[in-house]
Each structure stands twice: as structure tokens, then as C-alpha cells.
Amino acid sequence: MKYSRSIVSLALLAGLGIGVVHAQAQGGSDSGGAPAFSEISKDGKGIKRSDIPKDVDALKQLRAHFPEADLNHDGKVDKGEYDAYVNKSNQPQQQR
């Protein structure tokens, strides 16, 4: 009986691990496939428009609308600005 409990426990742990890996592979729950800020930022403080890769579909809108994402107009998008823009662009458009 003790042996079967161990198998069930291991199966549950494996299932939880797969869920975590899948969420990380998807870029997190709210990012819509956009890479993490830390993957783009060279210094960890901000992203310049030239730092944004051209070949990442999830970041094409950010590249095209960089001034809109740069809320304090300092020429860089910090982590808060990045997260706000990425999450805003992933929200479904409301119909009027």
C-alpha cells in the first residue's frame, strides 16, 4: 500500500512540474508569447528601440509604437512600461 502512494505522489509532482514548464515556455500567463523584459534589456534598467529584435512577432507592435510605450519619454522603456504595454496589447479589443 505504501508503494502505491509513492507512485501517486510522484505522478502528481510530475504533473505540477509539466504545468510550470508549459507556462514558462509560453512566456508567462499574461505576456502573449513576448519574451521577458530581462531577455531584451542589456543593462536590466531599460530597453531602447534598437534593442527590440525585429524578428519576434510578439514585439512588432512595441517596435512600431515605441513612443506610446515610453510613458515618461526618456527614450527607454523600463520594466514597468514594458509590462504595461505588453499586457495592454494582449487584452482583447472591446467592441463599441
Q: How far apart are CA 46 and CA 95, in angstroms?
A: 34
Span 20-50, pLDDT tens digits: 444 444 444 445 688 999 999 989 899 999 9
Contact call for residues 63 and 49 (beta carbons, < 8 A)? yes
For residues 10 and 79, give the distance between their C-alpha atoms in angstroms, rounded to a whole number.
37
Quick check: helix, strand or coil at residue 47?
A: strand
What average pLDDT does the structure give for the chain? 77
Spatial distance between the Cα atoms of 66 and 77, rounded to a whole number of angstroms:
8
pLDDT over 50 (residue 80): yes
